[in-house]
């Protein structure tokens, strides 16, 4: 299974029997065991695996950048471009890094020196490796910034990283890694921290530059969609070992190893439908998935929000003068039928988290009212306001940060009961034990602290805490985006079966359209603080009407290597700042179909057929039908 | 940036006003008759009355405060109860040794502390690192007058390398001044240097774990270059903060050091004023030292902008 | 309630774990030994004020372990009695600074309006050098151990308050606090059950630094003649009395000087050890 396909060319990089160990106290424990992989010239190898699979560690050891005191390479040969890297001295290795092998990291926010200008950071590479003069280096830096299509590159040379958006910073990272035209580019989760539309742009850019420069690429990712889009060959890692390697089409069409098959089955894919329709999202541990159940009809309204808005004051300039406020959320109205799931979809900065916090009454709306389980909340103060929380609870994004580190699992789950329940301690104990059972945790774990649980288990605790009061509404803010794919599937299934059993209503906030399709009954798409489209799930996934929704769909990597989407160049366009919202339609600056009308007037959310609502002057224009209709009109 | 500067400078004003109020009210809050207290147990009623009049203690507190404040605004810090000399004159006479001692100490502490801390940070867990940490916790723990006597005993009395006492003014030549201040400065800088070394070490360790350091190494930059060009500037804020912060301890230490080494500076003036309850001198020196401390830390705050281009942004948000 | 027993059980095991580390165990043992010696001082060793003109300025010997001073008093006896003052001052200042500082710090961290005023006042107190403020206060209060304790508490309170406030502000922003709010925790429960336990570690570390600072400040005050009165032996005034004869009888200064340094070193090391124990980021060894 590990045999490489016969290839007459010599590999650019061949890693043989690589083992890496981590230090744990006084002992060294294996993190990567006897791993082999190679990269041919001009090839893209994707290394895919979940957290802890050893995928990043393997490439860091190729670069000789393992953290010195805590990790070491215990065996292995690394043949690169005719040289055995493991035998090189520190100085020789330093000369290869950045010159022959470039590297991009996951976090564009922290991977650039915050105190150094962009141009200087780029110029350093060629000054170091080619001995370029400051002037030449600066010129090359400018050329490279233009290459990665940073708008207004000349002025960006003197910018500091914090003045750039995440997507722009990742472009700078790519420019930096390619400054001295390395033979090999290692990209470690280069788009994980980015929004889906920006991810599409960055992946397209990497593919384009790779073709242009003939660079070989190792792309490390946990996202099978990214693999399908980018890879020539794929290596699947699990728990420090390579379990399978195959050309990309073969891997997706005929996965051999059970783990690869399980990974593919656990990944939600666009167009797969919802659990209510009997779709199954298989989990690696084989846990049962929820059975079919249609959405309940006419069971009343669990939550209603009308005209909700939030402005944040912003102080700048002389002596903290009040500048133009940011409108994080602007005129949002929602209705959540009992027993159903309303998903709110949008990219970072669209106001979805602010909206969630307003619904949770942790931040006060600047305007509008929220009605929870029939009770209006705007006029509630003090104790009455606190008691409303019996009817609405929340699951947070980060299962590591949202559980109190000094409380036991039992205390955490009991907290809402203690504050709002009015039960005696025996009843509390019984309820907590029942909930533990419901979310699939063993009663033996009741006394443990959060650090003793895995990410998935923590999210189970968080879910138990959210439903222990049997609330009408649970707001889940990106509840699975911090989890591995296999765990994500478990949590989604758990949420679905709980909804089925208890008749809960969910507000499910997410950036991931594939996840939303599995869990939601109604979907609202947010852009810059507004809902721009809202529709029943099936209608939205069948025919999105807003160009922004279409753009989101087109940005999701397909899980089919035969139907890649990002082969073409994608224009660099980014979300405008919420403090500087465009006039007229707020999407027009990114919309390829924008007209004068869009600049002049702001379209309201208007009802179309079948409960479909959209805020666009030209609904459906981004689909082929819509474009045909437009040309007829013209 | 200018907005930030102005805001920081304005933020200092209430602190200085509060210090002035605190220094003024020290005397008011004293239990019993302050004039009696200042004059001492053996004073005659006439002497007490004289003190009372001199310090305006016979008037209501608000009037006293106004008188004190307006004198302060005119640069009048009062006159010594004992010698009758204006406090400003006394300060002018004695400021040189203290200034020289403080400067020498700061230079010594920074020039030793920062490199030592940085060096230890690059070798975390090694023998050298542990040694540096042990030395710094020791230097941090030995009180300044113990260190002073230890140094006098070995360096001056046993080895006769440096004078044990006294101060040579600048008019006698910079060399002579430095010679006379070397021991006091070493004694005084122990705690300060240890603080700087510890903070530097922690800050550099922290920065070395940052992602951008890995990026810089992946670019093929050498360890030393990465340390100096990428790591240190990003570790600078906590380091300059502790340098500013330590000035407080330094100014307090001056009182002790000048007493031990018999240096005729402000510290010695303060120490003797306390024993003699020469209240205007204590008031003036407390105020002076506090103002120096506040201004030094204002400079430190303003220097943040040099090291971190984001500072004006987050400072503006945090305020 | 079962939660409470679980908590005490956990606290006990945490203490057990901490004491298993030599970096924590050794300083704790030294402090316990010093406390026992100080408490038993009157029984263990002779009168610290017993003047003996016949035995003036004797070098250390078996009879007088640390020698005698210019009045023939036993330096060992005086030093041991000085331990009582240092520990008393250190402990009382620490307890008072904790009580006042933690209250002010939590208040500042929680109530923005109080914060603005309170922190300006703290800034003002902190801008006067500790020693100078303490001696200015002593100049007014007059010499005496109790007065010294008060004069040292005042400059130490803002340092504790600052630390607690800083931790409170950062804890307040954590998602688990937001979770507690959505779980309906009342403000007081939020403060005492959710926020305060997280400030305990930094508070404890700061407490050790306050303790050592208090011991040093008291010694300096006494050394300058503004602390413990001359008839109460304290390390500071023993050194002060011995300094004139330093060249001929250095032992008078050495014994209290060494004891003072060891006590401060012990407490500081304990603080460092606790800090490293609590902060895995500093403990974690990096590249």
User: What CATH number is associated with residue B143?
Assistant: 1.10.3720.10
Q: Measured between CA atoms, how close is A110 to chain B, in angstroms? A: 6
Q: What values do phi and psi take at C154, rounded to 5?
A: -55, -50
3-state SS class at A505: strand
Mean pLDDT over C263-277 rounds to: 89
Query: Considering only CA atoms, which of A360, A348, A350 is closest in space to residue A328?
Result: A350
Instruction: Give contacts of B 272-301 with C, CB under 8 A.
Output: 273-275, 277, 279, 282, 285-286, 289-290, 293-294, 297
Scan for tokens 């006067």, then name that residue: C128
Name chain C contacts of B34, Cβ cutoff 8 Å: 140
Q: What values do phi and psi take at C88, rounded to 5?
A: -60, -50
Confidence check: pLDDT of A340 > 70: yes
In sequence order, the 6+-apart residues with CB closer than 8 A to the CB of A463 are A395, A439, A479, A491, A494, A495, A498
Across the interface, whether the CB atoms of A115 and B234 are under 8 A apart is answered yes
Confidence check: pLDDT of C74 > 90: no
Across the interface, whether the CB atoms of B222 and A94 are under 8 A apart is answered yes
Residue C261 at interface with chain B, using a CB cutoff of 8 Å: yes
Tokens of B168: 């040579």
Name chain B contacts of A318, Cβ cutoff 8 Å: 2-3, 6
Residue B137 at interface with chain C, using a CB cutoff of 8 Å: yes
For B58, B274, B291, C134, C139, the CA distances from B40, given in Å and listed in that order, are: 18, 12, 30, 20, 11
Q: Give the integer Cα–Cα distance in Å for B305 and A501.
A: 57
The answer to whether residue B258 is domain-embedded is: yes
**Mutate which of A24, A356, A415 to disrupt the C interface (most C C-beta within 10 Å)?**
A415
Pick from B30, B153, B289: CB nearest C132: B289
Q: Measured between CA atoms, how close is C176 to chain A, in angstroms? A: 4
Pick from A65, A112, A115: CB nearest B218: A65
Domain covering C3-7+81-285, topology:
MetI-like fold (1.10.3720)
Size of interface A-C (CB pairs under 8 A): 69
At CB < 8 A and 24+ separation, what contacts does B307-310 make? B307/A115, B307/B233, B307/B234, B307/B236, B307/B237, B307/B240, B308/A114, B308/A115, B308/B234, B308/B237, B309/A114, B309/A115, B309/A160, B309/A162, B310/A114, B310/A160, B310/A162
Instruction: Specify the pairing of strand A13-24 against strand A71-80.
Output: antiparallel
Query: Between the CA atoms of B18, B23, B26 and B28, what dihedral angle is there, to the nearest 10 degrees?
Result: -80
**pLDDT reported for residue A236:** 95
Across the interface, whether the CB atoms of A362 and C178 are under 8 A apart is answered yes
Q: Measured between CA atoms, how close is C169 to chain B, in angstroms? A: 11
**pLDDT reported for residue A378:** 86
Confidence check: pLDDT of C149 > 80: yes
Name chain A contacts of B121, Cβ cutoff 8 Å: none
Mean pLDDT over C205-234 rounds to: 90
Q: End of a domain among B73, B97, B130?
A: B73
Give me the percent of chain A exceeding a pLDDT of 70.
93
If asked whether residues B203 and B69 sit together in one domain, one would say no
Residue A360 at interface with chain B, using a CB cutoff of 8 Å: no
Confidence check: pLDDT of A6 > 60: no
> Which is more confidently placed, C69 or C284?
C69
- What confidence tier does A203 reach under pLDDT thresholds 50, 70, 90? very high
Across the interface, whether the CB atoms of C219 and B143 are under 8 A apart is answered yes
**pLDDT reported for residue A630:** 56
Q: Give the integer Cα–Cα distance in Å for A537 and C145.
A: 77
If asked whether residues B102 and B12 sit together in one domain, one would say no
| Average pLDDT of chain A to the nearest whole number | 88
The answer to whether residue B81 is domain-embedded is: no
CB contact burial B160-199 (16+ within 10 A = b; e otherwise): eebbbeebbeeeeeeeebeebbbbbbbbbbbbbbbbbbbb
| Count of structural domains within chain B | 2
The answer to whether residue B79 is domain-embedded is: no
CA-nearest residue of chain C to B287?
A: C128
DSSP string, A207-258: HHHHHHHT-EEEEEES-HHHHHHH-SEEEEEETTEEEEEEEHHHHHHS--SH
Across the interface, whether the CB atoms of A386 and C197 are under 8 A apart is answered no
In sequence order, the 6+-apart residues with CB closer than 8 A to the CB of B208 are B121, B122, B227, B231, C286, C287
Residue A87 at interface with chain C, using a CB cutoff of 8 Å: no
CA-nearest residue of chain A to C185?
A: A419
**Mutate which of A68, A360, A419 to disrupt the C interface (most C C-beta within 10 Å)?**
A419
Q: Give the integer Cα–Cα distance in Å for A267 and A253.
A: 15
> Which is more confidently placed, C245 or A96?
A96
Across the interface, whether the CB atoms of A320 and B319 are under 8 A apart is answered yes
In sequence order, the 6+-apart residues with CB closer than 8 A to the CB of C7 are none
**pLDDT reported for residue A627:** 64
If asked whether residues B185 and B240 sit together in one domain, one would say yes
**pLDDT reported for residue B312:** 46
Residue B235 at interface with chain C, using a CB cutoff of 8 Å: no
> Which is more confidently placed, A419 or B307?
A419
Across the interface, whether the CB atoms of A67 and C179 are under 8 A apart is answered no
Cβ burial of A381 (10 Å; 0-12, 13-18, 19+) is exposed
**pLDDT reported for residue B30:** 64
Query: Considering only CA atoms, which of B18, B174, B197, B154 is closest in space to residue B100?
Result: B174
Across the interface, whether the CB atoms of A389 and C197 are under 8 A apart is answered no
> DSSP E strands: which ranges in A111-181?
none
Backbone φ/ψ region at B166: left (φ over 0), alpha (ψ -120 to 50), beta = left
Name chain B contacts of C253, Cβ cutoff 8 Å: 149
Mean pLDDT over A225-237 rounds to: 94
Q: Give the integer Cα–Cα distance in Å for B271 and B248.
A: 17
If asked whether residues B33 and B104 sit together in one domain, one would say no
Q: Which residues pair with A507 in a beta bridge?
A: A342, A475
CB atoms within 10 A of CB A117: 18
Segment A108-160, tens digit of pLDDT: 888 999 999 999 999 999 999 998 899 999 999 999 999 898 888 898 899 99
Mean pLDDT over A537-556 rounds to: 91
Name chain A contacts of B308, Cβ cutoff 8 Å: 114-115
- What confidence tier does A8 reach under pLDDT thresholds 50, 70, 90? low
Mean pLDDT over B255-269 rounds to: 92
In sequence order, the 6+-apart residues with CB closer than 8 A to the CB of B8 are B298, B301, B302
Confidence check: pLDDT of B267 > 90: yes
Across the interface, whether the CB atoms of C184 and A404 are under 8 A apart is answered no
Instruction: Give contacts of A 202-221 with C, CB under 8 A.
Output: none
Name chain C contacts of A396, Cβ cutoff 8 Å: 175, 178-179
Q: pTM of the entire structure? A: 0.85
CA-nearest residue of chain B to C264?
A: B141
Name chain A contacts of B124, Cβ cutoff 8 Å: 69
Residue A70 at interface with chain B, using a CB cutoff of 8 Å: no
Query: Between the CA atoms of A378, A380, A385 and A389, what dihedral angle is there, to the nearest 10 degrees?
Result: -50
Give me the percent of chain B exceeding a pLDDT of 90.
39
Q: What values do phi and psi take at B300, rounded to 5?
A: -60, -45
If asked whether residues B143 and B14 sit together in one domain, one would say no
Size of interface B-C (CB pairs under 8 A): 136
**pLDDT reported for residue C1:** 39
Query: Considering only CA atoms, which of B261, B94, B95 is closest in space to residue B183?
Result: B261
Q: What is the 3-state secondary structure (H, E, C) of chain C?
A: CHHHHHHHHHHHHHHHHHHCCHHHHHHHHHHHHHHHHHHHHHHHCCCCCCCCHHHCCCCCCCCCCCCECCCCCEHHHHHHHHHHHHHHHHHHHHHHHHHHHHHHHHHHHHCHHHHHHHHHHHHHHHHCCHHHHHHHHHHHHCCCHHHHHHHHHHHHHHHHHHHHHHHHHHHHCCHHHHHHHHCCCCHHHHHHHHHHHHHHHHHHHHHHHHHHHHHHHHHHHHHCCCCCCCCCCCHHHHHHHHHHHCCCCCHHHHHHHHHHHHHHHHHHHHHHHHHHHHCHHHHCCCC
Please say whether the beta carbons of B236 and A116 come within 8 A.
no
Query: Considering only CA atoms, which of C10, C7, C162, C152 is closest in space to residue C89?
Result: C152
Mean pLDDT over A483-498 rounds to: 90
Mean pLDDT over A11-34 rounds to: 90
- What confidence tier does A324 reach under pLDDT thresholds 50, 70, 90? low
Pick from A67, A389, A411: CB nearest C182: A389
**pLDDT reported for residue B314:** 41
Across the interface, whether the CB atoms of A404 and C194 are under 8 A apart is answered yes
Chain C positions touching chain A (beta carbons under 8 Å): 1-3, 6, 174-176, 178-186, 189, 194, 197-198, 284-287
If asked whether residues B170 and B103 sit together in one domain, one would say yes
Structural domain containing residue B129: 87-317
Residue B125 at interface with chain C, using a CB cutoff of 8 Å: yes
């Amino acid at each position: 299974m590990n045999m490489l396909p016969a290839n007459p060319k010599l590999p650019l990089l061949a890693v043989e029997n690589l083992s890496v160990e981590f230090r744990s106290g006084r002992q060294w424990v294996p993190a990567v065991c006897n791993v082999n992989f190679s990269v041919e010239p001009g090839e893209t190898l994707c290394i895919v695996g979940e957290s802890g699979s050893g995928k990043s560690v393997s490439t860091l050891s190729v670069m000789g950048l393992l953290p010195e005191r805590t990790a070491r390479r215990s065996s292995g040969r690394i043949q690169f471009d005719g040289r055995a890297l493991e035998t090189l001295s520190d100085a020789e290795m330093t000369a290869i890094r950045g010159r022959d092998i470039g590297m991009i990291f996951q976090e564009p926010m922290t991977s650039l020196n915050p105190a150094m200008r962009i141009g200087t950071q780029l110029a350093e590479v060629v000054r170091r490796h080619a001995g370029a003069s400051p002037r030449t280096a600066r010129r090359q830096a400018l050329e490279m910034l233009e290459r990665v299509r940073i708008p207004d590159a000349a002025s960006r040379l003197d910018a500091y990283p914090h003045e750039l958006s995440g997507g722009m910073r990742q472009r700078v990272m790519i420019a930096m890694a390619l400054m001295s035209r390395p033979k090999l580019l290692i990209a470690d989760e280069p788009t994980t921290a980015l929004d889906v539309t920006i991810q599409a742009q960055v992946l397209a850019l990497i593919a384009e530059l790779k073709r242009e420069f003939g660079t070989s690429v190792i792309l490390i990712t946990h996202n099978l969609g990214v693999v399908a889009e980018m890879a020539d060959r794929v290596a699947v890692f699990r728990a420090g070992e390579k379990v399978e390697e195959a050309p990309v089409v073969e891997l997706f069409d005929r996965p051999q190893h059970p783990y690869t098959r399980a990974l593919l089955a656990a990944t939600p894919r666009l167009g797969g439908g919802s659990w209510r329709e009997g779709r199954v999202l298989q989990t690696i541990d084989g846990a049962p998935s929820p059975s079919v159940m249609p959405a309940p009809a006419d069971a009343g309204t669990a939550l209603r929000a009308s005209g909700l808005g939030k402005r944040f004051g912003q102080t700048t300039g002389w002596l903290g003068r009040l500048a133009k406020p940011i409108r994080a959320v602007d005129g949002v109205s929602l209705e959540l039928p009992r027993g159903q799931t309303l998903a709110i979809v949008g990219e970072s900065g669209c106001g979805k988290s602010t909206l969630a916090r307003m619904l949770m009454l942790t931040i006060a709306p600047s305007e509008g009212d929220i009605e929870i389980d029939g009770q209006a909340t705007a006029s509630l103060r003090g104790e009455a306001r606190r008691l409303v929380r019996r009817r609405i609870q929340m699951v947070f994004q980060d299962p590591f940060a949202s559980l109190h580190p000094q409380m036991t699992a039992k205390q955490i789950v009991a907290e809402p009961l203690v504050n709002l329940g009015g039960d005696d301690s025996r009843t509390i104990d019984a309820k907590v034990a029942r909930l533990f059972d419901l979310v699939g945790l063993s009663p033996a774990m009741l006394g443990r602290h959060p650090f003793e649980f895995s990410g998935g288990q923590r999210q189970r605790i968080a879910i138990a805490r959210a439903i222990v009061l049997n609330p009408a509404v649970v707001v889940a803010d990106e509840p699975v985006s911090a989890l591995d794919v296999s765990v994500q599937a478990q949590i989604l299934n758990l949420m679905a079966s709980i909804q089925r059993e208890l008749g809960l209503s969910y507000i499910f906030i997410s950036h991931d359209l594939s996840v939303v399709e599995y869990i939601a009954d109604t979907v609202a798409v947010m852009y810059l603080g507004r809902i721009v489209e809202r529709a029943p799930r099936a209608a939205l996934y069948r025919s999105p009407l807003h160009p922004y929704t279409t753009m989101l769909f087109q940005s999701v990597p397909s899980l089919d290597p035969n139907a890649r989407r990002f082969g073409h160049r994608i224009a660099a366009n980014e979300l405008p700042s919420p403090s500087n919202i465009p006039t007229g339609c707020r999407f027009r600056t990114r919309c390829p179909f924008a007209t004068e009308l869009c600049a002049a007037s702001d379209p309201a959310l208007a009802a179309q057929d079948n409960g479909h609502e959209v805020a666009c002057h030209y609904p459906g224009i981004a689909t082929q039908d819509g474009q045909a209709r437009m040309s007829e009109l013209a | 940036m200018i907005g930030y500067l102005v805001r920081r400078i304005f933020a200092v004003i209430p602190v200085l006003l509060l210090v002035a109020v605190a220094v003024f009210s020290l005397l008011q809050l004293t239990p019993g008759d302050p004039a009696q207290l200042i004059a001492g147990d053996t004073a005659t009623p006439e002497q007490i009355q004289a003190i009372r009049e001199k310090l305006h203690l016979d008037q209501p507190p608000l009037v006293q405060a106004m008188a004190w404040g307006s004198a302060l605004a005119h640069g009048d810090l009062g006159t010594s109860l004992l010698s009758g000399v204006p406090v400003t004159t006394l300060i002018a006479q004695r400021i040189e040794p203290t200034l020289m001692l403080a400067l020498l100490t700061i230079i010594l502490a920074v020039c030793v502390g920062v490199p030592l801390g940085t060096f230890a940070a690059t070798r975390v867990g090694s023998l050298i690192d542990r040694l540096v940490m042990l030395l710094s916790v020791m230097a941090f723990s030995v009180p300044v007058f113990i260190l002073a006597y230890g140094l006098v005993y070995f360096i001056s009395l046993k080895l006769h390398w440096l004078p044990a006492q006294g101060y040579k003014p600048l008019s006698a030549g910079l060399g002579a001044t430095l010679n006379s201040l070397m021991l006091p400065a070493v004694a005084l800088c122990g705690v300060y240097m240890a603080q700087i070394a510890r903070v530097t070490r922690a800050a550099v360790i922290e920065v070395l774990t940052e992602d951008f350091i890995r990026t810089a190494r992946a670019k093929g930059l050498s360890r030393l270059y990465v340390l100096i060009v990428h790591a240190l500037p990003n570790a600078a804020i906590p380091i300059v903060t502790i340098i500013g912060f330590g000035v407080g301890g330094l100014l307090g230490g001056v009182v002790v050091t000048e007493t031990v080494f018999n240096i005729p500076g402000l510290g010695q003036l303060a120490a003797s004023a306390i024993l003699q309850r020469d209240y205007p001198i204590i008031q003036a020196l407390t105020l002076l030292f506090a103002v120096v401390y506040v201004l030094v830390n204002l400079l430190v705050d303003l220097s943040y902008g040099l090291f971190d281009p984001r500072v004006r942004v987050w400072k503006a948000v945090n305020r | 309630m079962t939660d409470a027993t679980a908590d005490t059980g956990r606290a006990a095991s945490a203490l057990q774990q901490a004491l298993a580390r030599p970096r924590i165990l050794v300083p704790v043992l030294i402090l316990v030994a010093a406390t026992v010696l100080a408490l038993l001082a009157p029984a263990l060793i002779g009168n610290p004020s017993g003047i003996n003109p016949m035995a003036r300025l004797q070098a250390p010997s078996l009879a007088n372990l640390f020698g005698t001073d210019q009045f023939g008093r036993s330096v060992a006896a005086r030093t041991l009695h000085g331990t009582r003052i240092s520990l008393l001052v250190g402990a009382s200042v620490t307890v008072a600074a904790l009580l006042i500082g933690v209250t002010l710090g939590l208040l500042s961290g929680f109530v923005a309006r109080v914060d603005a005023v309170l922190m300006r006042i703290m800034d003002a107190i902190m801008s006067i050098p500790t020693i100078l403020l303490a001696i200015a206060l002593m100049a007014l209060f007059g010499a005496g151990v109790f007065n010294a304790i008060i004069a040292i508490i005042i400059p130490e309170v803002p340092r504790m308050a600052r630390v607690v406030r800083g931790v409170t502000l950062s804890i307040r922003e954590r998602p688990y606090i937001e979770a507690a709010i959505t779980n309906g925790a009342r403000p007081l429960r939020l403060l005492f059950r959710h926020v305060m336990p997280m400030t305990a570690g930094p508070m404890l570390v700061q407490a050790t630094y306050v303790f050592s600072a208090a011991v040093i400040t008291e010694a300096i005050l006494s050394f300058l003649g503004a602390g413990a009165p001359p008839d109460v032996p304290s390390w500071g005034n023993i050194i002060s009395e011995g300094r004139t004869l330093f060249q001929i009888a250095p032992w008078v200064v050495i014994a209290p000087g060494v004891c003072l340094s060891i006590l401060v070193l012990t407490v500081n090391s304990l603080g460092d050890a606790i800090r490293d124990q609590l902060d895995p980021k500093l403990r974690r060894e990096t590249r």
